[in-house]
Amino acid sequence: MAQTKPILKPADIWASNANAANKQKPNQSKLDSGWVYGEKPPHNEFNWWWSLVGELIVHLEQHGVPAWDSQSSYQRGAFAFYGTEIYQWTGTNGTSGQQPTVNPKWIEIPNTKDVTDLINTIKADLSKIYIDINSGLNPIQNQNIVIEKSWNGSVLVLDTKRISTITQS
């Protein structure tokens, strides 16, 4: 049975049309300490909080990963959406500063169309394709990537860093 999930649409965001007086960010002291047991939060702070939560959920629904931000602190391996692409942070933990298209520590994640195009190229009657590329890992040494089409329709991609099998449809 397929699982269903609630979908939050922009029109469903709490207090999305509230005026500034009814939706205000609490001061830093309150953000640091939070509401204490028994405290009734002011309506404007409560509206601000739930509106923020709704906006973040809708953003993730629409993009799948958070948008890149120059002020965010990224953990190694984190993903961010920038422009029309998804990138992965390979630097040390901390603020990335520069945009993913500029900072070489952001690596663009190939989309499925790129992989499909590669598989369609291999579907030709060629049994082996050798590609010589500059891996970017060592600018002095090029790496050979061997792509082999096997009898069962799978594709084996080999390089010095990884081995993966992609099964064709």
User: pLDDT for 140-152, tens place per residue?
Assistant: 344 445 555 555 5
Residues 23 and 48 in one domain: yes
Question: Which residues on neighbouring strands pair with residue 164, listed in sequence order?
Answer: 157
For residue 4, being part of any structural domain is answered with no
pTM of the model: 0.56
- In this structure, what token pair is assigned to residue 54? 């709704």
Question: Among 32-36, 92-96, 133-137, which stretch is predicted with the lowest mean pLDDT?
Answer: 133-137
Do both 57 and 38 map to the same domain?
Answer: yes
Provide the domain count of the chain: 3
pLDDT tens, position by position, 10-60:
778 888 888 989 999 999 999 999 999 999 999 999 999 999 998 888 888
* 41 and 88 fall within a common domain: no
Q: Which of 135, 152, 154 is nearest to 143 (CA)?
A: 135
Instruction: Mark whether 22 and 40 lie in a shared domain.
Output: yes
pLDDT at position 136? 41
**119 & 92 share domain:** no
- Measured distance between the N- and C-terminal CA atoms of the chain, rounded to whole angstroms: 24
Has residue 5 been placed in a domain? no
CA 1/CA 30 separation, integer angstroms:
44
Looking from the CA of 109 toward its CB, the CA atoms found within 13 Å total 17
Same domain (yes/no): 59, 83: no
Q: Are 135 and 159 in contact (CB under 8 A)?
A: yes
Query: Is 98 contained in some domain?
Result: yes
Classify residue 158: in a domain, yes or no. Answer: yes
| Contact between residue 51 and residue 23 where contact means Cβ atoms under 8 Å apart | yes
Q: Is there a domain that residue 146 lies in?
A: yes
Phi first, then psi: what are they for 71, rounded to 5°?
-95, -15
| Residue range of the domain that includes 25 | 10-63
